[in-house]
Structure 1
């Protein structure tokens, strides 16, 4: 398994344009939310547990993030749990409204991703490595933490290996 730094550096090579990163701040959360809305509709009811496919997806991805970094993993657990909770009311809607919200969030999110990659002039990271689909949400959180002045050492490692962001 690649380290946190290796995963983020690999992902950063495809994301050095500030405009691309900005589109990801909106697009990736929309995509994750859309997927959780769709998966929250699939449930396994066993007394006394009520388990959804969204819950299973959050658990599996959270374990991966925790394996990469405990502190960042905890942040991801909290954020994914909150998004999963926000998806539950949508999953409870009638079929057509649920489908419209899930699909439109997914489409808008991906549209923003591709606009960002147009600015970047590079293909999305997942084209070369599917793990990029899991690293994307972590990358957005890490970039947000960098803006807040946190995780400076990690930021410097990424800049040293992938280069600085550009306008």
Structure 2
């Protein structure tokens, strides 16, 4: 398995334009929220509990993030749990409203992604490596943390692999 630095550095190769990164700040959370809205409607009985498809998705994602970085994995866990809580009311809507809101949000998020990649002049990372689909949310998190002046060593390690961010 690749390290955190390798995963983010490889993803970063496709995301050096500041405009692309900005579109990802909005597009990726919208896509994740839409997926959680769709999966939250799937209800699975488990012993005395009912778990949702969103719960399984979040658990699997968080386990992966924790293997890459304990601190970033915990931050991602908090964010994904909050997004799942926000997705539950959407999943409770009527079938048509749920589908329109979830799929509309998903499509809009991807439109933003492709606009960003138009500015970048490169295809999305997942085209070459499907792991980019799960690394994208983590990349957005670390880019936000970099803007706050945090994880500077990780920022340098990503720049060493991917090169500097361009305006």
TM-score under structure 2 length normalisation: 0.99
**Whole-Å Cα distance in 2 between the matches of residues 115 and 109 of structure 1?**
10
Q: What is the match of residue 99 of structure 1? A: 99
Using the TM superposition, give the Cα deviation of residue 46 of structure 1 relative to its aligned residue in structure 2, in angstroms. 3.7
- What SS class does the counterpart of residue 45 from structure 2 fall into? strand
**Whole-Å Cα distance in 1 between the matches of residues 46 and 117 of structure 2?**
43
Q: Which runs of 5+ in 2 are unaligned?
A: none
Q: What is the match of residue 132 of structure 1? A: 132
Q: Which runs of 5+ in 1 are unaligned?
A: none
Using the TM superposition, give the Cα deviation of residue 48 of structure 1 relative to its aligned residue in structure 2, in angstroms. 2.0
Using the TM superposition, give the Cα deviation of residue 47 of structure 1 relative to its aligned residue in structure 2, in angstroms. 4.8
- What SS class does the counterpart of residue 2 from structure 1 fall into? coil
- What SS class does the counterpart of residue 129 from structure 1 fall into? coil
State the Cα RMSD in Å: 0.7
String of CA shifts for 1:67-106, please: whole Å, max 9, x gaps: 0000000000000001011000000111011001101100
TM-score under structure 1 length normalisation: 0.99
Q: What is the match of residue 118 of structure 1? A: 118
Q: What is the match of residue 146 of structure 1? A: 146
Q: What is the match of residue 42 of structure 2? A: 42
**Whole-Å Cα distance in 2 between the matches of residues 157 and 46 of structure 1?**
42
String of CA shifts for 1:7-51, please: whole Å, max 9, x gaps: 000000000000000000000000000000000000112452110
Q: What is the match of residue 11 of structure 2? A: 11
Matched length: 167
